[in-house]
Structure 1
Amino acid sequence: MTDPIPLRACAYVRVSTKRQAEHETSLNEQETGIARSAAERGYEIVETYIEAGKSGMTDRRPALQRMIADACARPQRYDAVFVYNFSRFFRDEYECEGYRRKLEKAGVKLISATQDVGEGPHARLIRSIFTSLDAASSEINAEQVKVVMSANAEAGFHNGSAPPLGYRTYVAERRGKKDKKKLEIDPAELPLVELIFRLYLEGDGTSEPLGIGSMVKWLRERGYTHRSQHFHTGLIYAILTRETYAGRHYYGCRDSRTGKVRPRDQWIEVRVPAILSEESFQAVQQRLKARNPHITAPRSHTSPVLLSGLGRCGCNGCTSTMMLMTGKGGRYRYYACSNRRKKGDLSCGGNNVPMDQVDDAVVSALEHRLFQPGRLKALLGEMLDASDVADADRRKRLAVLRTEETEVNASIRALFMMVESGATTPDDPFLKERLATLKLRLSSIGEEMAALERQIGARGGRITPEKVERFAAAMRTKLRDTDDMQVRRRYVRAFVGEVVMSRKRIIIRGPNRALELAAAGDMPADDKVRTFMGNWRTRLDSNQWPLPSEGKAGNERRQPQANEKH
């Protein structure tokens, strides 16, 4: 009689800290315990996934995601996933149960080597008790660590994160086996910090004070780096606004789990040696504030850019924004890839295209290929259908949406009732995520209901062939015969969502929804323009007809593949 073939399984082991991962003690113990338990249950461990230094409170773990993907793949690779205990899998009961069900649907069991919950309906209850205790234990430990580290910061000590540029740590005192560290100025990095602030306030001696973008270029051209990393605009801004350089270092500015900035009154101030005087630091802050585009209006009246905010680079897979670049003292204007302007990155070939040619091509495409009555009738054919049959279908859909709206509102009320009854807390991450999902769905339902009600409403609000012709004529006039660039820009932005540019072609993506709403009523006499998002492209939306320039060769209808218009 031959021995039965063992079932295939994988092992998942995890430690929470880098120190545990370096010593590998906990990892080895987990692997040994899992191998012993798997053999007793008739499983063979064919793969081990190791997660070193990752928290069990989140699913942002590379080894975990790789293991889940492999376990749920077809054909089936494993019959079970073994963990040393459920806390190694997750320290959050919601996440643990969600991923366990995902494995279960794939026909894969989740087995703990040290916590046998058995089979049947009682197993989920026992498992939830274990994971709830693990989550509570983790939160208690986190709170204790927070108290200790806050006390350490209040005493003037550094808590172990990488010191800011220009500083280093030193052992101020020893308490038992613990080294208590503080920040001091690093003589090797001090000149670089002083240089950055001098460039921003005074320039390099041969120039005016440099802006952040110019400073990045200046530092890169001369080979300066931030601890072996290239400078970029975000890093320079962070250095210029860091109060540490004025002698005030802060601990606890952000919540370590959510990443959100805490209120300033919760920050803990740690006094450190100052690199800048308070007067110099405040001068930098005032200059930053004065140059803030949200405070100082952009010079659009002297430097009009028709496609501002719409342009994207289309060379070599680059998707960066396109910015204004001038030549010959402003006589020539180009749309240039922002990677080239901000970072000096030429991987896309340093893409830049003449602004006048692009602007004219976009306006011409709107005028001759979109705002023609025949083209608009094809695009808005569904909206032109005012028959009783179409209205009946819309009313049915509206009834379904109203029912769903009632259910979503009831779910939202139930969540708030859970908070009121004490079943959960307002800062519960699962509650926040679920509430955000429900509110997003409620907003989508409201938008769709409004569109249906508008289509079913009074006949005067319907899109008619006469309105389409009047709308097309008005739009052609606004795009060509208006001298005010700002008015033209608003009309272009109303119907164009993105313009992808390269030296060889231009791709325009734009909104079907804007066409529907604008054509549904008479064009306003003033210059106000609605802005919406959607899609229009020949044959790749509701319109399946070819362009006039394509002739009979394009008469075959094709299925939508992308929301683009060449």
Structure 2
Amino acid sequence: MNVVTYLRVSSEQQAERELSIPAQREALQRYADERGWSIVDEYIDEARSAKTDERPDFQRMIVNAQKTDKHFVAIVVHKFDRFSRNRGDHAVYKALLKKQGVTVVSATEPIDTDTPHGFLLESMLEVISEFYNVNLRHETLKGMRENASQGFHCGGRVPFGYRRVQTGKKVTYELGSNEEVKLVQQMFQMAVEGHGGKRIARELNQQKVIEGKSWAPSTVLAILNNSVYLGKRVWNKKSDGDGKQNDMSEWIVAENAHPAIVDQQLWDATQASLMARKISKTQ
């Protein structure tokens, strides 16, 4: 019997807790050999979540399974949660595959889904897997909220003018080079003097203060509107799902989380100047 294998680990961090790709491959090869099956292809999604639309090789596998000239009749996974941790996805994709004569087989969860007991057991495993995924997301979010409330870094790019500092598992910021710090302060001062993003970017590019660094107006404005330069750390400003800005009541703001590059007076003057320019453009 010709089969294909599907292997997945969620992320670099989670890979430490999950079976690695090489270990999954070895286990699936052994499982196939014991049954005399031939593995004719392999699909791998590394550092990918369980969301099917974010797994390119999973999608490629599903497309290939629907081809009339497909060369396999089963997809072998180490555990069913490698296929998906979402019950809806399990139902939809397994039903689609079944119409094409393709089954999903778990090497460590031998279940005959054609029997009532097997169907029930598989459904229970899917529920447990989804519970694990939802609970993990909840615990991760709770940990990130606590981390953010203490002023620590919760991922993403470190702002220009700062450097990462790690103490144990906690990450915060320290001031970057004097060159970068002074450049940020210069941007704020130029904004106070009435210059807009385009003018500031043009002058910085002409100065070539940092060799090889090119400035865009949008980058300059992003810096001028980022309260991180006041020493504040703001988390949960935008939704992960759609990228829309959350209500301010949902933001987690930590004051004095790291050294400030500008003081409150310069910040307030900058914001007033930027707002005045915005109003003048609409009149």
Q: What's the TM-score bracket when you normalise by the shorter of the two chains?
A: 0.7 to 0.9
Question: In the TM superposition, what whole-angstrom CA distance separates every residue of 1:169-199 from its partner, at most 9, and x where no partner exists?
Answer: 2245xxxxx3433211112532332233334
Deviation at 1:115, TM superposition (A): 1.9
Instruction: Report the Cα offset of residue 256 of structure 1.
Output: 3.6
RMSD: 3.1
Instruction: Please give the alpha-carbon distance, in whole angstroms, between the structure 1 residues aligned to 2:124 and 2:166.
Output: 44
Distance 1:25 1:213 in 2: 51
Distance in 1, Cα, partners of 2:210 & 2:17: 33
Q: Aligned partners of 2:244, 2:121: CA distance in 1, in Å?
A: 34
Aligned partner of residue 233 in structure 2, secondary structure: strand
Which structure has the larger Rg?
1
2:72 & 2:207 partners in 1: Cα distance? Answer: 55
Contact 1:84 1:112 (8 Å CA) reproduced: yes
Q: 1:249 aligns with which of 233, 246, 251?
A: 233
Change (3 A) 1:110 1:258: farther
CA deviations on 1:121-147 (whole Å, 9 max, x unpaired) are: 645543332222111111112222222
CA contact (8 A) 1:225 1:231 kept: no
Paired position in structure 2 for 1:10? 4
Contact 1:12 1:83 (8 Å CA) reproduced: yes
Give the direction of change, closer, same or farther, for the CA distance of 1:286–1:103 in structure 2 (3 Å limit).
farther
Q: 1:181 corresponds to which letter in structure 2?
A: V
Distance in 2 between residues matched to 1:99 and 1:233, nearest whole Å: 46
CA distance 1:291–1:133, shift in 2 (3 Å)? farther
Whether the 8 Å CA contact 1:169–1:183 is kept in 2: the answer is yes
CA distance in 2 between counterparts of 1:222 and 1:75 reads: 62
Give, in angstroms, the shift of residue 56 of structure 1: 0.9
Paired residue secondary structure (1:289): helix
What is the alpha-carbon distance in structure 1 between the residues aligned to residue 207 and residue 39 of structure 2?
A: 54
Among 156, 170, 174, which residue is 1:180 paired with? 170
Say whether 1:190 aligns with 2:190.
no
Q: Which residue of 1 aligns with 2:95?
A: 101
Q: Which runs of 5+ in 2 are unaligned?
A: none
2:197 is aligned, of 212, 217, 224, to 212
Q: Give 1:249's aligned amino acid.
A: R
- 2:33 aligned counterpart, secondary structure: helix
C-alpha distance in structure 1 between counterparts of 2:205 and 2:63, whole Å: 41
Q: In structure 1, give the amino acid aligned to 2:128.
A: L
Structure with the bigger RCO (C-alpha within 8 Å, sep 6+) is 2
* 2:43 partner SS: strand
Runs of 4+ in 1 over 6 A off after TM superposition: none
TM-score where L is the length of structure 1: 0.44
Q: Residues 183, 114 of structure 1: CA spacing in aligned structure 2 closer, same or farther, 3 A cutoff?
A: same
- Kindly indicate whether the alpha-carbon contact (under 8 Å) linking 1:20 and 1:26 is maintained by their aligned counterparts in 2: no
SS of aligned partner of 2:32? helix
Deviations 1:32-56 (A, max 9, x none): 2222222334421122222111111
- Asked whether the equivalents of residues 196 and 274 of structure 2 are also in contact (C-alpha less than 8 Å), the reply is no
Q: Distance in 1 between matches of 2:17 and 2:108?
A: 22
Aligned counterpart for 2:192 among listed residues 186, 191, 201? 201
Counterpart check, 1:290 vs 2:280 = no
- The C-alpha deviation readout for 1:6-50, integer Å capped at 9, x for no partner, is x22221111112145589962122112222222334421122222
SS in 1 for 2:48: coil
Aligned residues: 279
What is the aligned counterpart of 1:64 among 58, 62, 71?
A: 58
The correspondence of residues 31-430 of structure 1 with structure 2, limited to 5 A, is: 31-120=25-114, 122=116, 123-172=118-167, 178-187=168-177, 188-202=179-193, 209-219=194-204, 231-270=215-254, 271=256, 272-292=258-278, 298=282
Classify the secondary structure of the residue corresponding to 1:36.
helix
Q: Using the alignment, how far apart are the partners of 2:86 and 2:243 within structure 1?
A: 18
Deviation at 1:218, TM superposition (A): 4.6
Summarize the Cα distance change of 1:119–1:151 in structure 2 as closer, same or farther, 3 Å threshold.
Answer: closer
Q: Displacement, 1:258? A: 4.9
Identity of aligned residues (%): 30
More off after superposition, 135-144 vs 12-21: 12-21
Q: What CA deviation, in whole Å up to 9, does each residue of 1:220-243 have, x standing for no partner?
A: 5666789x8854444333222111
**Cα–Cα, structure 1 residues 248 and 73, in superposed 2: closer, same or farther, change >3 Å?**
same
Rate the CA distance shift 1:231–1:89 in 2: closer, same or farther, 3 A: farther
Q: Greater CA deviation, 250-259 or 213-222? A: 213-222
Q: Distance in 1 between matches of 2:87 and 2:260?
A: 46
Secondary structure class of the residue paired with 2:269: helix
Match for residue 494 of structure 1? none
Q: 1:259 to 1:135 in 2, by over 3 A?
A: farther
User: Is this contact kept in 1: 2:148–2:233, CA < 8 A?
Assistant: no
2:210 and 2:128 map into 1 onto residues whose CA distance is 47
Q: Secondary structure at the match of 1:59?
A: helix
Describe the shift of the 1:244–1:97 C-alpha distance in structure 2 as closer, same or farther (beyond 3 A): same
SS in 2 for 1:168: strand
* TM-score of the two chains, using structure 2 as the length reference: 0.83
**Distance in 2 separating the partners of 1:225 and 1:68:** 49
